[in-house]
């Protein structure tokens, strides 16, 4: 019916890409872009979205294809009671009403505008938006675009991975001066360990060590060691271990 539910849309921590099922992402004969801006005096934000069908292509059953728009803030600092302050990357702030795809013929263009009110608690300098086109029957993502506030929505590459295997993704941002996010995917529930190692192979931080459910698992590293001290600039390795796999990737800290 074009609706989409996700805890991130109400402010829970989480990367915006987890709003859709990346296991079912396929490139389609569509391109999406637009503009994202707001008026500070009226606190009204506007997203202008343009969808174009590629020349020589047709989109079957367009009435079952929906265009979703998510407004996010990146980063967000929250006070977590006894846990102290925490920084969350890319918190989804608002899920705008879904729009049905009307363009279906070769070269056909669809342009529309969505308006929303900015919450006074949001940091407008950190706002961004992502638009993705999704087939309603099986949640397949066909195209996506992303942009910062007062900027252009640029096409967003749809990444692919083997959902039958353990996947460790490249951290972002990389290089980083303080914080970075590390994601991994488990095809089934398993015991996992995600550790940060320095250039000498010494463990400087353990991000998780224990059982994890099937699916995506995002972790934020704040650039601190296990004693809460900033690590030195340089290259580090993050290692994911499960009962069947040991995967590693490199990241760089700048100071």
Encode pLDDT of 75-103 as tens digits. Answer: 655 444 444 444 555 677 788 888 999 99
Residue 2 domain flag: no
- Could you say which of 105, 130, 155 is where a domain stops? 155
CATH of the domain at 139: 2.60.40.10
Residue 211 domain flag: yes
- Among 160, 188, 166, residue whose Cα is nearest residue 248: 166
At residue 112, the pLDDT reads 92
Domain total of the chain: 2
Same domain, 135 and 192: no
pTM of the complete model = 0.56
Same domain, 149 and 171: no
CATH of the domain at 206: 2.60.40.4070
Same domain, 202 and 177: yes
Residue 29 domain flag: yes
Encode pLDDT of 226-248 as tens digits. Answer: 999 999 999 999 999 999 999 99
**What are the angstrom distances between the C-alpha of 251 and each of 136, 172, 236?**
37, 9, 5
Same domain, 139 and 245: no
Same domain, 224 and 124: no
Residue 161 domain flag: no
At residue 167, the pLDDT reads 85
> Containing domain of residue 205, as a range?
167-253
């Amino acid at each position: 019916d074009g609706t989409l539910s996700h805890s991130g849309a109400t402010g829970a921590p989480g990367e915006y890409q987890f709003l859709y099922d990346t296991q079912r992402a396929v490139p389609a004969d569509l391109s999406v872009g637009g503009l994202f801006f707001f008026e500070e005096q009226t606190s009204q934000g506007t997203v202008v979205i343009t969808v174009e069908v590629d020349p020589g292509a047709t989109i079957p059953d367009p009435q079952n294809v929906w265009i979703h728009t998510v407004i996010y803030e990146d980063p967000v600092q929250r006070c977590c009671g006894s846990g102290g302050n925490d920084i969350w990357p890319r918190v989804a702030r608002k899920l705008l009403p879904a729009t049905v795809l009307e363009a279906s013929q070769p070269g056909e263009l669809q342009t529309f505008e969505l308006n929303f009110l900015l919450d006074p608690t949001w940091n407008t300098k950190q706002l961004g938006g992502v638009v993705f086109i999704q087939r309603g029957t099986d949640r397949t993502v066909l195209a996506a675009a992303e942009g910062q506030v007062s900027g252009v929505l640029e096409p967003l590459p749809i990444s692919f991975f083997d959902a039958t295997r353990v996947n460790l993704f490249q951290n972002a941002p990389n290089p980083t001066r303080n914080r970075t996010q590390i994601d991994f995917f488990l095809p089934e529930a398993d015991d996992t360990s995600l550790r940060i190692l320095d250039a000498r192979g010494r463990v400087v931080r353990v991000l998780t060590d224990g059982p994890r459910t099937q699916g995506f698992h995002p972790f934020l590293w704040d650039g601190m060691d296990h004693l809460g001290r900033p690590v030195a600039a340089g290259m580090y390795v993050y290692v994911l271990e499960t009962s069947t796999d040991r995967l590693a990737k490199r990241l760089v800290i700048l100071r």
